[in-house]
Structure 1
Amino acid sequence: MTEAKQAYRVLFLCTGNSARSIMAEALLSVLGKERFEAYSAGSSPTGKVQPIAEQLAREFGYTQPLRSKSWDEFAGPNSPPIDMIITVCDNAAGEVCPIWPGHPVTAHWGVPDPAAIEGSQEVRRRAFQAAWMMLKHRVDLLLALPMEKLDRVSLQQEIRSIGKAGNP
């Protein structure tokens, strides 16, 4: 992990980096601002953020610029060291990832893709809200972990078990 008193850096990955990983970044950034630095990226970024995902992040108090970006930004020698990588879509979980500097712990927190839902604006918003609530629950579980007391193996097990948690 990173040095004492330094924030844990978490990278959320999804294929398109337009909704789920963006929402996870916003949630952890707001809720874990003293202990965590959150980032998001995609293996094949769409280049745009889903408007409903951005709206939910803004309503929650996330004020940083949101953009869809490639995971290559986090795999190079000048990238910030990442402590945890969490995939939030099944496609990204199955892809061959770059070799990450520092060999961060990894987990998969699969969340249904709200951007794939068709229908009225209200139907789509409900799908995004459901994904948001699932991610929020998992971020809350991550925040409850005694990070400073967990060794690498224990941390790996804990964050992987969070990915199996449904909504409360």
Structure 2
Amino acid sequence: MAEGFAKESFSEDWQVESAGIEAHGVNPLAVKVMAEVNIDLSHNKSKLIDTDFLNDCDLVVTLCGDAKDRCPMTPPSVKKLHWPLPDPAQATGTEAEKMVVFRQVREQIKDLVIDLASSLK
């Protein structure tokens, strides 16, 4: 979800990529809630972190739970931010109940990405 908002919010001067320490596939509920705001994630792929790419970044943002602690080390030149959001994939209940959580997290991510993009202009 963050990648989808970032690609819309950041200028073309930025290369926006999303990756994780594990590849689980793109959650279908994330695809659904992003489609509600006209962002298509249906062609996105779950990717593992490329350490060489990571070490060459200007900025790395980690999301959810222990991502901050489990993200590989980067050189001091890489600015790091952590947004301690709940992981919507951990939501329980019916699909409708899970969608509520995905929507809440989507809105939090949207606000954070827009604020970050504004601060970097």
Q: TM-score range by the shorter chain?
A: 0.7 to 0.9
TM value normalised by structure 1: 0.62
Query: Against the structure 1 CA distance between its residues 42 and 54, is the aligned structure 2 distance closer, same or farther, given a 3 Å change threshold?
Result: same
CA distance in 2, matches of 1:121, 1:96: 30
Query: Against the structure 1 CA distance between its residues 96 and 120, is the aligned structure 2 distance closer, same or farther, given a 3 Å change threshold?
Result: closer
Q: Which has the larger radius of gyration?
A: 1
Runs of 4+ displaced beyond 4 Å: none
Aligned equivalent of 2:64: 89
Contact 1:28 1:36 in 2 (8 A): no
Structure with more strand by fraction: 1
Unaligned stretches of 5+ residues in structure 1? 1-22, 149-168
Contact 1:49 1:66 in 2 (8 A): yes
TM value normalised by structure 2: 0.83
Contact 1:88 1:109 in 2 (8 A): yes
Higher RCO (C-alpha 8 Å, min separation 6): 2
Counting aligned pairs with the same residue, the percent is 24
Q: What is the alpha-carbon root mean square deviation over aligned residues?
A: 2.3
Q: Deviations over 1:86-137 (max 9, x none)?
A: 110221111251446x832001001101111111111000000000011111
